[in-house]
């Protein structure tokens, strides 16, 4: 999948999750490449366009801890259950070196999971992960 298609796919999936959750679920997302020696932000959507790059190294710490001992394959996902505020809450491996990082800048995953509508919204999240499993970001 090309990046422009991936961005449209992500936007549509997050809109579906918002509808199922009956309010914004992840108000921020970024597609990053962690290719050795060539880390890059490929796309960003959210309220912190001017500051998120400065804060990125700190904001990814809880999610990095969760993922540290795991070898995610394309389409696999993980959550940082206690990440709060601007710390990234979820990720999907979208390509060989690409990851989609999602964040709710107001709530942690622990708070989100207390809402019974999260169960329905998860279905759209899993569908998004399966989309990338079938057609990875190039």
Q: What secondary structure letter does DSSP report for 33? A: E
Question: What proportions of the chain, in percent to the nearest 5, are helix, strand and coil?
Answer: 40, 20, 40
**pTM, whole model, 2 decimals?**
0.92
pLDDT at 67: 78
Residue 38 reports pLDDT greater than 80 = no
Structure confidence by residue, pLDDT tens digits, 50-104:
888 899 889 888 888 887 888 899 999 998 877 777 889 899 999 999 999 999 9
Q: To which H or E segment does residue 62 belong? A: helix 61-67
Q: Which one, of 28, 36, 81, 82, lies nearest residue 55 by Cα?
A: 28
Residue 96, φ and ψ in degrees, nearest 5: -55, -45
* Beta-carbon contacts of residue 95 (< 8 Å; ≥ 6 apart): 33, 74, 132, 136, 137, 138
């Amino acid at each position: 999948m090309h990046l422009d298609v991936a961005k449209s796919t992500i936007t549509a999936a997050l809109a579906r999750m918002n509808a199922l959750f009956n309010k914004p679920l992840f108000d921020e997302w970024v597609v990053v490449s962690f290719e050795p020696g060539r880390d890059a932000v490929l796309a960003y959507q959210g309220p912190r366009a001017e500051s998120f790059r400065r804060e990125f190294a700190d904001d990814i710490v809880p999610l990095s801890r969760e993922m540290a001992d795991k070898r995610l394959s394309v389409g696999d996902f993980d959550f940082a259950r206690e990440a709060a505020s601007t710390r990234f809450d979820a990720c999907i491996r979208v390509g060989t070196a690409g990851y989609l990082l999602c964040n709710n800048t107001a709530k942690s995953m622990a708070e989100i999971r207390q809402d019974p509508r999260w169960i329905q919204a998860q279905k759209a999240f899993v569908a998004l992960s399966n989309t990338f499993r079938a057609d990875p970001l190039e």
